[in-house]
């Protein structure tokens, strides 16, 4: 063996460098996955905020119309558009939620 770096040592250093690169790429992938999930949630919240939903009638209360993003009644489906919400609100057995005031968003259309 001469005074230079052996092929074995060169390849060990290369392997360490490649492993470091792989850790960096995997870290970036995790960051992008988190960012993508946050963006998906933001889009879902924005969609819900522009919709309405009906909480079914219970034996002790009437059915309630909520804004899509009202936290008093959580649901990920069954959203109504503006026209459907107006029809629902005109029904005698459906009342607006007193917390999110869904009729406010309906009046501006």
Per-residue pLDDT of the chain (109 residues; tens, 9 = 90+): 567 899 999 999 999 999 999 999 999 999 999 999 999 999 988 888 889 999 988 877 889 999 998 988 887 778 899 999 999 999 989 999 999 999 887 775 5
Q: 66 with 94, same domain?
A: yes
Q: Using the 8-state DSSP alphabet, how is residue 45 labeled?
A: H
- Hey, what are 36's tokens? 């993508």
Q: 60 with 26, same domain?
A: no
Listed in sequence order, the DSSP H helices in 1-109 are 7-49, 82-90, 102-107
Number of domains in the chain: 2
Domain closes at, from 49, 64, 85: 49
Q: What is the pTM of this model?
A: 0.63
- Hey, what are 95's tokens? 């009342």
End-to-end CA distance of the chain: 84
What residue numbers bound the domain in which 54 lies? Answer: 50-107
Q: 38 with 54, same domain?
A: no
Q: Give residue 40's Cα distance to chain centre.
A: 5
Cα 14 to Cα 5: distance, rounded to the nearest angstrom: 12
């Amino acid at each position: 063996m001469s005074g230079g770096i052996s092929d074995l040592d060169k390849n060990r250093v290369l392997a360490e460098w490649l492993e470091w690169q792989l850790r960096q790429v995997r870290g970036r992938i995790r960051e992008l996955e988190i960012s993508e999930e946050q963006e998906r949630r933001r889009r879902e919240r924005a969609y819900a905020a522009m919709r309405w939903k009906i909480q079914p009638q219970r034996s002790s209360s009437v059915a309630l119309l909520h804004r899509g993003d009202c936290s008093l009644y959580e649901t990920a489906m069954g959203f109504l558009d503006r026209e459907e919400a107006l029809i629902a609100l005109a029904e005698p057995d459906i009342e607006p939620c007193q917390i999110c005031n869904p009729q406010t968003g309906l009046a501006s259309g």
